[in-house]
């Protein structure tokens, strides 16, 4: 991801109600407040950005995925899979062993488990209306990169 990619990435994230938000009086602790360009990825088709994702390193062995999103007109075409594979490959090269992911979408939970071997390890309450507005918690998934 490059600095110039951020507006297109924000637009795609907004399509899924996942764009980072600044802290405010109404929302002092947002789920996500920025995009980390250094750990971000984009997918392009026809010269335009059609997907984005990233990750956050918590310590040398632990990272968390951040907001994988694909333009709805490209959903189902393998863009998300390629983005996820790229970030997992990079994390593995950086020595990350454990990857955590939080999602509130049942189809996405199944996708992470079936395609990548994640296991469900718990839930976390949501801080505000982010992603699915009617879901009040995140499902926490974990992947051991050393065994994949």
Supply the pLDDT for residue 148.
Answer: 79
29-33, 41-45, 51-55, 112-116: segment of lowest average pLDDT? 29-33
Q: State residue 20 phi and psi, 5-degree precision.
A: -55, 150
Alpha carbon distances (Å) from 126 to 26, 41, 68, 103: 15, 25, 17, 10
**What topology does CATH give the domain 3-147?**
Aminopeptidase (3.40.630)
The answer, yes or no, to whether residue 138 has pLDDT greater than 90, is: yes
Counted residue by residue, the chain has a size of: 148
Name the nearest CA neighbour of 75 among 2, 15, 17, 140.
15
- Percent of all residues in the chain with a pLDDT value above 70, rounded to a whole number: 100
* pTM confidence score: 0.93
* Spans of all domains in the chain: 3-147
Mean pLDDT across the stretch 87-103?
A: 97
């Amino acid at each position: 991801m490059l600095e110039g990619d951020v507006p297109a990435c924000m637009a795609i994230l907004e399509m899924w109600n996942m764009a980072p938000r600044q802290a405010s009086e109404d929302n002092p602790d947002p789920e996500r407040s920025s995009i980390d360009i250094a750990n971000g990825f984009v997918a392009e088709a026809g010269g335009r950005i059609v997907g984005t994702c990233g990750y956050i390193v918590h310590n040398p062995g632990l990272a968390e995925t951040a907001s994988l999103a694909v333009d709805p007109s490209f959903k189902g075409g393998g863009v998300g899979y390629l983005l996820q594979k790229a970030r997992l490959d990079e994390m593995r090269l950086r020595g990350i062993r454990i990857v955590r992911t939080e999602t509130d979408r049942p189809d996405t939970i199944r996708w992470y488990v079936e395609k990548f071997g994640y296991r469900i390890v718990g839930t976390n309450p949501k801080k505000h209306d982010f992603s699915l507005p009617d879901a009040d918690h995140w499902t926490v998934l974990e992947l051991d990169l050393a065994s994949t």
